[in-house]
Structure 1
Amino acid sequence: MRTTPLTAVPLLVAALATPAHAAALPAAAQPPRVPAGTTAAWVVYDRHAGKIVATRNAHRKYRSASVVKILIAIDYLERRKSVPPADARLLQVMLRSSDDDAASAFWDRLGKGQIIVRTARKLGLSDTTPPPASKPGFWGYTSLSAYDIVRTYRYLLDRAEPRVRDTILGHLRKATPCGADGFDQTFGIPDAVPRPWAVKQGWSGFGTTPPVRCGGDAKAVGAPISWVAQRATGSGVPDYGRPVLHTSGLVGKGERYVMALLTAHPAGGTWNASVKRITTLARDLYRYAAR
């Protein structure tokens, strides 16, 4: 459905309840509580109402991890009229199973950080910047915000060519339970929000071997050497040294809401504890936005 441009919507649509009043409100009427030691940012846009219905730290920058794969796909599809079968397969595993090798192939071929420069300019992403100049090959070090992620989904819904929109969102609606690296990617929205949904997840800083290998339908291929090597230094990278988990997508009946939830967790934190935190936040955020 067509909606008004995001820039026409005030970022803060209502004052949140003060701590003194929050205890008296029903749980669904309270914004999510962020655990100590965790930083979180979110934006939820209601497509029916045409406005933002929940926001926190909307313009805070996080390292993108795999959420940037949406921008890589947009740039690739908008720069060509047809997609060879081999590239169609790469797009599928990159978007559905968050395959890092596929993302690296497109990243190298399309000019690395120039992908981010082009898409940020075209989509009006004011918080989105390429990786540091010293780390041009590390697409996961792209910086972005919850606000810009919501703008990206709204671009796909409202402005992108149908073939671009249908290809990308079609894959995100079929996101696999397992990432290609063996990590379970059902944290956040998939575990917290009833279907239907279309999601793109992101995770970084938990090493290359999952605590328990996911047993779903995505083949584990391991992380590319360049992806592993980016742990060597974090100059200019948001929240470097802290693991991040992000969940984003279209949720609710008729994909009513556009939701982006970005989190950074305590250094040395475990996968399981971090997953529990973001899933609880996603559940509470959806209930609050849909109140």
Structure 2
Amino acid sequence: MIPLAAVPLVVAALATPAQAAEAKPPRVPVGTTAAWVVFDRQAGKIVATKNAHRKYRSASVVKILIAIDYLERRKSVPSADAGLLKIMLRSSDDDAASAFWDRGGKGQIITRTARKLGLSDTTPPPASKPGFWGYTSLSAYDIVRTYRYLLDTAAPKVRDTILGHLRQATPCGTDGFDQTFGIPDALPRPFAVKQGWSGFGTTPPLRCDAKATAAPMSWVAQRATGSGVPDYGRPVLHTTGLVGKGERYIMALLTAQPVGSTWSSSVKRITSLTRDLYRNVS
């Protein structure tokens, strides 16, 4: 089998003038920095791209890499850890991610997975912040490559566990934030998603689920300077996953929102961008 790292993400051929007129790229709101890559699995090529290699802080999207590393280093998964994987991937639980992060050697998890998957833009958090898994740097290109690895190369137990949970992502994160922005709100089912958000504090403006437990103290609540962290001081909001009939498209849309943005305004911006991006390729 040819290693995934040796297989490039082919970019679609340039469109004709008529096609270009019909398919205009989404307009990024003023003050927002956006990057995206959409890979068409049926055509075998990238069909939309912008700032593909721009680095963003990962927020919770890194939980996919944490899960890959954990599963590929074990022959079996204890029931307690299976429960942690489930809540980490479906409901973006931070405490579960921190447990795996500490056990896996923190930044070594990112070094191992980046090397194995051929992720050129993915690096661990700064050495001064080893516990901040959400400060991992990554790009839209690398996220798409990660989903391709899961679909085409990973062992069935790894692929089925991770994508199985992402296909059943819950509307609410365990921290009380509504994680239906972007792909879930903008696109029709079916889809499998992993969302990411950072810089909006630990208390959502309106709890997604009144029955949820109090938001845990996690990496987003910690105090630190921003040296070496992409877009530190700006909220980031990311939506990624498999979309379309037969999960035809792999989509990664990363955004750094304007300083001081509210949760509601940021959610509206990324959801609108997601809808326009999908219309542009489907």
The two structures share one fold, judged by TM-score above 0.5: yes
By how many angstroms is 1:13 displaced? 2.5
Percent identical among aligned pairs is 77
2:227 corresponding residue in structure 1: 235
Task: Kindly provide the CA deviation profile for residues 225-268 of structure 1, in whole angstroms up to 9, marking residues without a partner as x.
Answer: 44411x42110000000000000000000000000000000110
Contact kept, 8 Å, 2:151 with 2:159, in 1: the verdict is yes
By how many angstroms is 1:223 displaced? 3.3
| AA at the equivalent of 2:233 | G
Q: Distance in 1 between matches of 2:226 and 2:51?
A: 22
Please state if 1:77 is matched with 2:76.
no
By how many angstroms is 1:224 displaced? 2.5
Distance change (3 Å), C-alpha of 1:4 and 1:236: closer
Question: What number of residue pairs does the alignment pair up?
Answer: 282
Contact kept, 8 Å, 2:199 with 2:220, in 1: the verdict is no
2:277 corresponding residue in structure 1: 285
Task: Kindly provide the CA deviation profile for residues 210-234 of structure 1, in whole angstroms up to 9, marking residues without a partner as x.
Answer: 01000288x34413244411x4211
- SS of 1:86's equivalent in the other structure is helix
By how many angstroms is 1:10 displaced? 5.8
Task: Kindly provide the CA deviation profile for residues 78-103 of structure 1, in whole angstroms up to 9, marking residues without a partner as x.
Answer: 00011111000000000000000000
2:41 corresponding residue in structure 1: 47
1:25 corresponding residue in structure 2: 21
List gaps (5 residues or longer) in structure 1. none
The alignment yields a C-alpha RMSD, in angstroms, of: 2.2
By how many angstroms is 1:71 displaced? 0.2
> What are the residue-to-residue correspondences of 1:144-183 with 2, within 5 Å?
144-183=138-177
Q: Distance in 2 between matches of 1:87 and 1:177?
A: 22
2:236 corresponding residue in structure 1: 244
Contact kept, 8 Å, 1:3 with 1:158, in 2: the verdict is no
The counterpart of 1:259, out of the listed 251, 260, 266, is 251
Distance change (3 Å), C-alpha of 1:226 and 1:279: closer
| AA at the equivalent of 1:269 | S
Q: Distance in 2 between matches of 1:142 and 1:246?
A: 14
- SS of 2:272's equivalent in the other structure is helix
Distance change (3 Å), C-alpha of 1:206 and 1:226: closer
The counterpart of 1:222, out of the listed 215, 218, 223, is 215
- SS of 1:232's equivalent in the other structure is coil
Contact kept, 8 Å, 1:42 with 1:146, in 2: the verdict is yes
Q: Distance in 2 between matches of 1:236 and 1:263?
A: 18
| AA at the equivalent of 2:271 | T
Distance change (3 Å), C-alpha of 1:85 and 1:163: same
Q: Which stretch shifts more, 127-136 or 219-228?
A: 219-228
Instruction: Please identify runs of 4+ aligned residues in structure 1 that moved more than 3 A.
Output: 2-12, 14-18
Task: Give the TM-score normalised by structure 2.
Answer: 0.95
Distance change (3 Å), C-alpha of 1:184 and 1:280: same
Q: Distance in 1 between matches of 2:32 and 2:2?
A: 33
Q: Distance in 2 between matches of 1:129 and 1:83?
A: 27
Q: Distance in 2 between matches of 1:178 and 1:216?
A: 10
